[in-house]
């Protein structure tokens, strides 16, 4: 028997080919009664869409790419899961590409990746998404993209993005520590190439200033988003003549390193030292005590970025689409767990500052 075609479905349902295509792609712009009629015709004819033929007809590949460079495996897995969820919802495929964000040839490498894999567009994660010259180079080559960036508000720069307000969340974490009575609060940076690091530091610094606490640069340590840097940074802070009574790590992996350093020094967390992280990764929940953190819905953020990219691709394909895609913001929420507690007085330490 001859296989049913999309034309057969359109004739059976008494709709246009474009309407059948929109139903197959699960687009929201089709009326429910029409959608039901098309789905009924598909079931009656036992029609199965051919993805390769669909690509050839539309001229648009139904595969998108995810580009990342991040040392935190939990974060990357959550991003991948979020983008994959959006792809499954919409019938798109996904190509995942780790890159070296410091490569001077990165723009050319990504253009070649898009062309070689016949991608419809890219989801860019930090720090690539926050490099204006890279984003401009890709856009100039006509590559559709959506950025996941750290920002307090929609940048409204004409390029689609999903933005995360790390600054307000970091302010809330620092405020929580201050309200517990902590005045000497250490801060461990993540990678400086990530805008999120600067945003989280800005929230920390602003909270201290708003509560009349002097920002002590000895309590601020550079590093990367890794457990090892959290451990090393904490050892450095705890060796000060006046060590902090609380430490805020820029992510949960850093905070877990702080927790390990505190335990190796025989400290009782949270009574000798309060510790907070950021992101609500498995590190925060599996540590003992579990970490106070800011819950960042990484999967939801990545899922929305992929949806935004796919919506933009469909808008380009169908000029009469009535609902243009819009940027969306997320604010991580404070989660208080057992790693933070009210400050208790600490006896003077004989140790001297390095």
**The 3-state secondary structure of 97-161, one letter per residue:** EECCCCCCCHHHHHHHHHHHHCCCEEEECCCHHHCHHHHHHHHHCCCEEEEEEECCCCCCCCCCE
* Residue-level pLDDT at 354: 46
The tokens of 337 are what? 């767990």
Residues contacting residue 135 through CB under 8 Å, at least 6 positions apart: 124, 128, 129, 145, 147, 159
pLDDT for the residue numbered 1: 56
Q: Is the pLDDT of residue 187 over 60?
A: yes
What is the residue-averaged pLDDT of the chain? 87
Would you say residue 251 has pLDDT above 60?
yes
Please give the pLDDT value at position 155: 86
Domain count for the chain: 3
**Reported confidence tier of residue 240, pLDDT bands at 50, 70, 90:** very high
Q: What's the pLDDT tens digit per position in 107-154?
A: 999 999 998 888 999 999 989 998 989 999 998 888 999 999 999 988
> Is it the case that residue 352 has pLDDT exceeding 60?
no
**What's the pLDDT at 166?**
95
Residue 156 lies in a domain: no
One domain for residues 291 and 301: no
Q: Is residue 92 part of a domain?
A: yes
pLDDT at 227 over 70: yes
Beta strand extents in the chain (DSSP E only): 63-68, 93-98, 121-124, 144-150, 161-164, 185-188, 220-221, 246-249, 274-276, 293-295, 328-330, 333-335
Residues 113 and 13 in one domain: no
Looking at the fold, whether 178 and 288 belong to one and the same domain comes out as: yes
- Claim to verify: residue 68 and residue 114 sit in the same structural domain: yes
Confidence at residue 321, expressed as pLDDT on a 0 to 100 scale: 44
At 320 the pLDDT is: 44
- Which of 250, 267, 295 is a domain's end point? 295
Query: Do both 12 and 67 map to the same domain?
Result: no
For residues 203-231, average pLDDT: 96
Same domain, 175 and 274: yes
Q: What is the pLDDT of residue 235?
A: 97
- Predicted local confidence at residue 70, as pLDDT: 77
pLDDT per residue over 7-56, tens digit each? 888 899 998 877 887 787 666 667 888 888 988 888 888 887 655 445 43
Lookup: tokens for 171? 């302010």
- Residues of the chain above pLDDT 90, percent: 58
Residues 171 and 291 in one domain: yes
12 plus 98 within the same structural domain:
no
Give pLDDT, residue 332: 94
Which of 271, 295, 319 delimits the end of a domain?
295
- Asked if 179 and 290 sit in the same domain, the reply is yes
CATH of the domain at 27: 1.10.260.40
Extract the tokens encoding 346: 């600490």
* Digit-coded pLDDT (tens) for 298-340: 999 999 999 999 988 876 544 444 455 688 899 999 999 999 9
Are residues 324 and 275 part of one domain?
no
- Which residues touch 142 (CB under 8 Å, ≥6 apart)? none
Looking up residue 134, the CATH number of its domain turns out to be 3.40.50.2300
pLDDT score, position 170? 97
Going by C-alpha positions, the residue among 129, 131, 138 that lies closest to residue 161 is 129
Please give the residue range of the domain that contains residue 256. 166-295
Residue 94 lies in a domain: yes
Examine the pLDDT at 171 and tell me if it is beyond 90. Answer: yes
Q: Is residue 131 part of a domain?
A: yes
Determine, yes or no, domain membership for 345. Answer: no
Average pLDDT rounded to a whole number, residues 246-260: 96
Q: What percent of the chain has pLDDT over 70?
A: 88
Residue at 160 is within a domain: no
Residue 349 lies inside a defined structural domain of this protein: no
- The answer to whether 122 and 135 are in contact (CB under 8 A) is no
Predicted confidence at residue 89, as pLDDT, reads 86
Instruction: Identify whether 347 is part of a domain.
Output: no
At residue 112, the pLDDT reads 92
Assess whether 20 and 120 both reside in one domain: no
In this prediction, residues 146-171 reach a mean pLDDT of 91
Query: Residue 325: what pLDDT?
Result: 65
Is residue 274 domain-shared with residue 183, that is, in the same domain?
Answer: yes
What is the value of pTM for the model shown? 0.76
Q: What is the mean pLDDT of residues 193-213?
A: 95
pLDDT band at residue 57 using 50, 70 and 90 as cut-offs:
very low
């Amino acid at each position: 028997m001859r296989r049913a075609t999309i034309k057969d479905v359109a004739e059976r349902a008494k709709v246009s080919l474009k309407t059948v295509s929109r139903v197959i792609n699960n687009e929201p712009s089709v009326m429910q009664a029409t959608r039901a009629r098309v789905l009924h015709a598909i079931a009656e004819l036992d029609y199965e869409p051919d993805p390769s033929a669909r690509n050839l007809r539309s001229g648009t590949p139904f595969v998108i790419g995810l580009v990342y460079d991040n040392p935190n495996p939990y974060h990357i897995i959550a991003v991948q899961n979020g983008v994959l969820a959006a792809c499954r919802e919409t019938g798109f495929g996904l190509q995942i590409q780790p890159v070296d964000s410091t490569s001077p040839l990165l723009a050319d490498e990504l253009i070649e990746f898009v062309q070689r894999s016949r991608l419809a567009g890219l989801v860019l994660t930090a720090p690539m998404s926050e490099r204006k010259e890279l984003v401009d180079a890709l856009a100039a080559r006509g590559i559709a993209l959506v950025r996941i960036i750290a920002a307090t508000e929609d940048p409204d720069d004409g390029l689609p993005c999903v933005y995360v307000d790390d600054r307000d969340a970091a302010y809330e974490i620092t405020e929580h520590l201050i309200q517990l009575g902590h005045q000497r609060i250490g801060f461990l940076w993540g990678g400086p190439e990530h805008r999120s690091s600067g945003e989280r530091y800005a929230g920390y610094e602003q909270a201290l200033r708003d509560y009349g606490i002097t920002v002590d640069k000895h309590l601020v340590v550079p590093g990367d988003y890794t457990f090892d840097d959290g451990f090393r940074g904490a050892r450095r802070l705890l060796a000060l003549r006046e060590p902090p009574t609380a430490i805020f790590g820029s992510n949960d992996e850093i905070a877990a390193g702080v927790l390990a350093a505190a335990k190796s020094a025989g400290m009782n967390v949270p009574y000798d030292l309060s510790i907070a992280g950021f992101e609500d990764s498995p590190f925060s929940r599996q540590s003992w005590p579990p970490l106070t953190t800011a819950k960042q819905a990484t999967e939801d953020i990545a899922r929305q970025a992929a949806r935004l990219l796919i919506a933009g691709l469909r808008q380009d394909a169908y000029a009469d689409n009535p609902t243009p895609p819009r940027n969306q913001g997320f604010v991580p929420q404070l989660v208080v767990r057992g790693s933070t507690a009210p400050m208790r007085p600490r006896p003077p330490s004989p140790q001297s500052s390095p």
